[in-house]
Chains A and B, each alone.
Chain A
Amino acid sequence: MSDFGSMLFVFVLATFIGLGVIRRVSRLLYTPLMSLTNAISAIAVVGSIAVAGADHPLTIRILGGVALFASMTNIVSGFMITDRMLKMFKKQ
Chain B
Amino acid sequence: MTHIISELAAVLATALFIFALYWMNDPKTARRGVTAGVTGMAVAVIATWIQPEIVHHAWIVGAIILGFAVGVPLSRVPLTAVPQRTALSHAFGGLAAGLVGTAEYFLWIGEAGGAAHITPFRMGALVVEVILGFLTFTGSLMAAGKLQEVKWIPQRPVTYPGQNVVNLGVLALAVGLGVALVLHPDAVWGGKAFMAIGALALIFGVLLIIPIGGADMPTVISILNAYAGLAAVAMGFVLDSKLLVTAGALDGSSGLILSIIMCRAMNRSFTNVLFGAFGKAQPALVAGEKKEWKQETVEGASQLLEQARNVVIIPGYGMAVAQAQHKVRELYDALTKRGVTVKFAIHPVAGRMPGHMNVLLAEANIPYSALVEMDEINPEMPQTDVALVLGANDVVNPAARYAKATPIYGMPIIDADKAKTVLAVKRSKNPGFAGIDNELYVLDNTWMLFGDAKAVLADLVKQFGSGGIH
Contacts and interface: CB of A to CB of B under 8 A. Distances in A.
B96 A89 contact: no
B77 to A, nearest CB: 8
B237 interface: yes
A60 B103 contact: yes
A30 B257 CA distance: 11
Contacts of A91: 365
Main secondary structure of the interface of A (DSSP, over half): helix
Interface string B27-53: 110110110011011001100110101
Contacts, number: 359
A70 B95 contact: yes
Contacts of B371: 28
Interface in B244-287: 244-258
Nearest to A63: B103
Interface in A25-74: 25-57, 59-61, 63-74
Interface residues of B, number: 110
Contacts of B55: 53-55
A29 B96 contact: no
Contact of A18 (B21, B77, B102): B21
Contacts of A92: 27, 362, 365, 367-369
Main secondary structure of the interface of B (DSSP, over half): helix
A40 B240 contact: no
A37 B72 contact: no
Contacts of B102: 63
A89 B358 CA distance: 9
Contact of B362 (A7, A24, A85): A85
B194 interface: no
Interface string B269-313: 000000000000000000000000000000000000000000000
Most buried by B among A11, A30, A40, A52: A40
A44 B97 contact: yes
B100 interface: yes
Given A66-B99, A74-B89, A33 B24 contact: yes
A51 B103 contact: yes
Contacts of A29: 24, 27, 30, 355, 358
Contact of A81 (B18, B85, B96, B250): B85
A79 B245 contact: no
Interface string B231-242: 011011101111
A79 B34 contact: yes
Contacts of B33: 36, 86
7 contacts: A1-B240, A25-B25, A36-B33, A37-B21, A38-B228, A76-B71, A88-B363
